[in-house]
Amino acid sequence: MTALYILIPVALLLAAFAVWLFFWAVDSGQYDDLDGPAHSILFDDDDPRHQAGVQQAQKPDDKQDPPGA
């Protein structure tokens, strides 16, 4: 019986913390876009917006000889 005097307040504190954590996650935008990440795996990497960043990162140095020279 004395264990209940400890376990009930601990359970209430954990429940209050879980509710606070849920509302914090909602307010911080964790649940704004639930479908986007699930659908993003279906898209190819051939998106021109992504290719521009890849080409800039792989841009050869100007000091190299052009092909066939």
Could you tell me if residue 5 is inside a domain?
Answer: yes
- Span 8-23, mean pLDDT? 98
- Span 33-38, mean pLDDT? 81
Owning domain of residue 23: 1-58
Could you tell me if residue 6 is inside a domain?
Answer: yes
Could you tell me if residue 30 is inside a domain?
Answer: yes
How crowded is the C-beta side of 40, counted as CA atoms within 13 Å?
A: 5
Could you tell me if residue 64 is inside a domain?
Answer: no
pLDDT class for 68, splitting at 50, 70, 90?
low
Could you tell me if residue 65 is inside a domain?
Answer: no
* Residue 18, token pair as written in the block: 């879980």
* Residue 65, token pair as written in the block: 């000889």
Give 44-67 pLDDT, tens digit per residue: 666 666 665 555 555 555 556 666
Could you tell me if residue 67 is inside a domain?
Answer: no
CA–CA separation, 44 and 24 (whole Å): 34
Could you tell me if residue 15 is inside a domain?
Answer: yes
CA–CA separation, 54 and 48 (whole Å): 10
pTM: 0.50
Contacting residues for 25 by C-beta, under 8 A, at least 6 apart: 31
Domain count, the chain: 1
